Chain A
Amino acid sequence: MKNILLLYCHPFPHKSRYNRRLQEVARKVPNVEIRDLYELYPSMHVNERDEQQALRRADAIVLQFPIYWFSAPALMKEWMDVVLQDGFAYGKGGNALVGKKVMLAVSTGGDEASYRAGEKHGADIAAFLLPFRMTAEFCGMVAAEPFITFNARNLDYEQINECAGTFAEHLMQLANG
Chain B
Amino acid sequence: MSVWVYGEQKSDLKIEGAIARRIAEDLYEVFIGPQHPGSGHMRIIIRVDGDIIVDADPDMGYVHRTMEKLSEGREWIKNIPLFERMAIHDACNVTVSYVIALERILGIEPPPRARYLRTLLCEINRIAAHLYGFGIFGVFMGHSTMYMWSFADREVMVELAEKLTGARLTHSYPIPGGARRDLPQDFPDQARKAVRYFRRRLEEYRKIFLDNPVMRSRMEGVGVIPKKVAAELGVVGPVARASGIKYDARLAEPYDAYDEVEFEVPVFEEGDALARAWVKFEEIKQSLRIIEQAVDWLEKHQREAPMHPKFWERSPPLWKKVFEAEGRVKLLPLMANLKLPPGKAMARSETARGEIVYYVESDGKTTPYRVRIVSPSARNAIVFKYIVPGYRVMDLPTIYGSIDYFPPEADR
Answer yes or no: are A and B bound together in one complex.
no
